[in-house]
Structure 1
Amino acid sequence: MQKTNSILDNLTFECKHEVRPPIDKEVHSLYDYALYHDLHNMWRGKKGDEVWQNMAVYYRIAAYNGDYKANLRLQWLLETKRVAVKKPQTEVYYLNKELEKTLPATAMYKLYYHLDSNYGVKTTPGGKFVYLRKAADMGSREAQLNLGQTLALIKDDATLKFRLDLREQLLKCATTQGQGEAAKWLGIYYESDKKYQEAIQAYHQGVKSGNQQSAFKLYQGFDKSKKHRLNAGIIQDLERSKRYEMIGDYLFDYDFLKPTVPDLDEIVPLPPAKLPPWDGKIAFQRWFEGPSPQKPSDELMQKLAEKAGLDWQTGLPLKK
């Protein structure tokens, strides 16, 4: 990529976190039920099959009652055609308008994301970075990662230090918001700069956010026989290394489910904390291998659908 004035001009960054509002428990029970069956369909499911078509109803009703997790998941299922509708672009457009009410920064990033596809969002040449910069400034962790990586690719020696410093700020902000890929790249940046403790903390956060490569880095780092650069900043601990390896293997094998490890500090806290007992499973794994959440009642579906002006059997707007 060549130097692009639209991305470098007047570019400063103040880290802002996007506030994720609480979701009503009744509403979220629709998402929990749908997600369980949605994810169990990911390996063998066919696009447009009965499972995804049925789960879309629960996601729709939850999304239009303020559940941003249901909204984002349904947008992805529509974008990938796992949920089949005649005009996916139209449904995604209205879902994203709804998302603006709860996660405006993420909704802005979704507009940027849709610029290169046929989803009704257009701009002038080079104008796409306006969406990206605005989303990052508003607090979108995905936009902060994307903007940081974009800055690194610009071919301009005169601005190199400025861009790398700014990229570090963007990656740090995204990392603290749970963006696993940002944490990995931040760790790599610190590792190359011999800031090993900072690298270890970044990778640890990356594992929490579901990044398999971060787990692999720490698995190597805590085992000095692997002869990794991180060895210089770590006291050998083979049990810690083994736990990161086991978690990393699970994240790799089940990447298609996008698991995260918010319970990481209960399994392998950073030194000097002692390692607690562990049964070898992460919380996501126990949930996925466990029984389905209770199916929401028809009465709850009807109540929430009516509140949002939807048909409770399809999740689509009532015809006027």
Structure 2
Amino acid sequence: MTHDSRPRSQELPLFNPHRPDFTCTVEADKLPPIDAQADAWLKKAIELEDPSIYVDDRDYKQIVALTRQAAERHHWKAMLNLASLYLEKRDPQYGAQDAIKLVEDAMQLGVPAAFDRMGVYYMNGTGVDSDATKAYSFFQRAAEMGNPQSMTFLGEKLTATWDSPADGFWANIPIGRKMLECAFGQGFGPAAYYLASEYREIARNPTRENNERALKVLHEGVKLGCADCANKLQIEFGEPFDPAKMLPPQIDKSRAQRYGILGDALSFNPNRRFPNLDKILPLPPAKLPPWDGKKESLLKAAMGVNPPPVAPPPSAAAQLKGRHFVAAEFTLRKSEVKAPAVLAPAPAYWQPTAPGQDATIQAALAAIPPGLYLQDEPFERFYQPNGGGRLISDVVWERWDTIRHDHSSVAPRAASGLTRTAPLPLAQSAAAKDLCPATGTWQPWVHPDHALSSIVNQSWRQAWLTAGQPFPQADKDWLLDLPATDLTWHLMDAADAQVS
């Protein structure tokens, strides 16, 4: 019998609901670098699939093409999105097995979310035989690798007071809570809903302190896109099931109305985020700011902000032709990856070098700009510059990645429609340990090469703060192991606090 070596068939440890410990690993630490050009293609595809566009009016041909372009550059999110498009029959020539192959490719790149997705496929019997045992094994592996979706799924299952495997829950509250906290810290909104329930019921003895903690987590969950959190707060502030056990200090119909609007928006478009929620809906005892009563103005005020786009400077690479062309909004940065091969090992820009050859040959190759190759595409061959028709031997190819031309600027990016553009105020920044010097929207930022940049340098991490407030603390408020010295805050919008 032939052994099945495909990633979908790998042997994983059985799910252990009674594990004694769990180490919080952040998924961002495990992800392959994202090509900036590929990321721009994917954001455009997400924009074209906006739920506000009627399904029959969406250009799925272009959505698939853009997502595929990004996936071919090994953009892991694009690979998983393309798999979903295949399952939705958005490109009829591809089906379930093609989707699984894409997920397997992402698994081989070490992407934690791909292990979670394979677990979903086994749970639902998508392209594979339905097998809950395998599904839970994949979820467990994904959670151990740092995937917040799997942590949330398993964490909720482990926060029961007794075991009932047939019903899918077990009593391992300390581990379940750790998983939920780790997922929440990475910005995964749905984790907040279950974590709030767990905080409220700590030791199964609800207290006012625990209620306040749960209320804050639900509120943060709304910022992170959790529709269930918004709907829960609408009920808690408006018509609690048991007023004696309600989370907020008092009923507040005005707050309930605003949470209801936010919940409807998040249910309609789960990609939305409302990081500046405190601008229009702070938790009590803060007073509600004025509002003109229009839904769009409420949602707009709570959205993240982007600075105005900056036109890219002219670049020599943008004038090149063929495989050497690089769009002006991007530039290339050499990676540490080298390939002494005749075929490109990955889709990327590659430049030939010959470290073992003389200076003349090295200079000749250095004058050749990096070129874009598809995976397994034959590399070009080069001849010695002194004639004779002899090939240059021992060529080593160095990979170059695309980065944005303003790579080092404080400029968070999101798909169009998910943020609003705000005129950039006078440059103002502050250290994480400082108090906020001015009222407005503040953006946290770490160095772009920092391991946590993909979950910090995002518009959904912004915060609306008033002058004199402390900045959110990574360890306390985000549950992230991020030294304050690594983090700075930057003023993005100094607008008036009134919503209109």
Relative to the length of structure 1, the TM-score reads: 0.71
C-alpha separation in 2, matches of 1:43 and 1:87: 24
- Which residue pairs with 2:89 in the alignment? 81
Select which of 119, 140, 143 maps to 1:136: 143
- Which residue pairs with 1:166 in the alignment? 175
Once the 2 structures are TM-superposed, how far is the Cα of residue 69 of structure 1 from its aligned partner?
Answer: 3.2
Confirm or deny: 8 A CA contact 1:132 1:147 kept in the other structure: yes
- Which residue pairs with 1:312 in the alignment? none
The one-letter code matched in structure 2 to 1:18 is E
* Superposed structure 1 runs of 4+ greater than 6 Å apart: 283-287, 299-302, 316-320
- Which residue pairs with 1:221 in the alignment? 236
Once the 2 structures are TM-superposed, how far is the Cα of residue 58 of structure 1 from its aligned partner?
Answer: 0.6
Change (3 A) 1:282 1:83: farther
- Which residue pairs with 1:37 in the alignment? 48
- Which residue pairs with 1:196 in the alignment? 211
C-alpha separation in 1, matches of 2:79 and 2:244: 41
Confirm or deny: 8 A CA contact 1:93 1:119 kept in the other structure: no
C-alpha separation in 1, matches of 2:321 and 2:47: 19
Deviations 1:160-193 (A, max 9, x none): 9951332222222222223333211222233344
Confirm or deny: 8 A CA contact 1:115 1:128 kept in the other structure: yes
- Aligned to 2:139, what secondary structure does the other structure show? helix
Change (3 A) 1:91 1:222: closer
Change (3 A) 1:220 1:7: same
The yes-or-no answer on 1:280 pairing with 2:298 is: yes
The one-letter code matched in structure 1 to 2:148 is R
- Aligned to 1:62, what secondary structure does the other structure show? helix
C-alpha separation in 2, matches of 1:9 and 1:232: 31
C-alpha separation in 2, matches of 1:202 and 1:56: 36
* Structure 2 unaligned blocks of 5 or more: 1-13, 292-296, 306-317, 327-343, 349-373, 379-500
C-alpha separation in 1, matches of 2:280 and 2:108: 36
Change (3 A) 1:281 1:42: same
The one-letter code matched in structure 2 to 1:281 is L
Change (3 A) 1:87 1:221: closer
C-alpha separation in 2, matches of 1:40 and 1:233: 33
The one-letter code matched in structure 2 to 1:44 is V
Once the 2 structures are TM-superposed, how far is the Cα of residue 98 of structure 1 from its aligned partner?
Answer: 3.4
C-alpha separation in 1, matches of 2:288 and 2:322: 44
Once the 2 structures are TM-superposed, how far is the Cα of residue 120 of structure 1 from its aligned partner?
Answer: 5.1
C-alpha separation in 1, matches of 2:170 and 2:97: 41
Structure index of larger Rg: 2
Confirm or deny: 8 A CA contact 2:74 2:347 kept in the other structure: no
Once the 2 structures are TM-superposed, how far is the Cα of residue 74 of structure 1 from its aligned partner?
Answer: 2.0
- Which residue pairs with 2:190 in the alignment? 181
- Which residue pairs with 1:53 in the alignment? 61
- Which residue pairs with 2:222 in the alignment? 207
* Structure 1 unaligned blocks of 5 or more: 288-296, 310-315
Once the 2 structures are TM-superposed, how far is the Cα of residue 89 of structure 1 from its aligned partner?
Answer: 1.9
Deviations 1:212-263 (A, max 9, x none): 22112222333478764564542555443332122112223x15x5433333
Select which of 15, 23, 26 maps to 2:24: 15
Once the 2 structures are TM-superposed, how far is the Cα of residue 200 of structure 1 from its aligned partner?
Answer: 0.6
C-alpha separation in 2, matches of 1:22 and 1:65: 10
What is the correspondence of 1:217-296 to structure 2 with a 5 Å cutoff?
A: 217-223=232-238, 228=243, 231=246, 233-252=248-267, 254-255=268-269, 258-273=271-286, 275=288, 279-282=297-300
C-alpha separation in 2, matches of 1:317 and 1:284: 42
C-alpha separation in 2, matches of 1:55 and 1:138: 30
Deviations 1:69-94 (A, max 9, x none): 33332222222323433344224423
- Which residue pairs with 2:352 in the alignment? none
Q: Which protein has the bigger helix share?
A: 1
- Aligned to 1:114, what secondary structure does the other structure show? helix
The one-letter code matched in structure 1 to 2:121 is H
- Which residue pairs with 2:388 in the alignment? none
- Aligned to 1:210, what secondary structure does the other structure show? coil
Greater RCO, CA 8 A, separation 6+:
1
The one-letter code matched in structure 2 to 1:31 is L
Once the 2 structures are TM-superposed, how far is the Cα of residue 17 of structure 1 from its aligned partner?
Answer: 1.9
Change (3 A) 1:11 1:130: farther
Confirm or deny: 8 A CA contact 1:61 1:308 kept in the other structure: no
C-alpha separation in 2, matches of 1:148 and 1:251: 23
Aligned length: 291
C-alpha separation in 2, matches of 1:202 and 1:301: 51
- Which residue pairs with 2:70 in the alignment? 62
Relative to the length of structure 2, the TM-score reads: 0.48
C-alpha separation in 1, matches of 2:302 and 2:97: 31
The one-letter code matched in structure 1 to 2:281 is V
Confirm or deny: 8 A CA contact 1:187 1:202 kept in the other structure: yes
- Aligned to 1:137, what secondary structure does the other structure show? helix
Change (3 A) 1:54 1:137: same
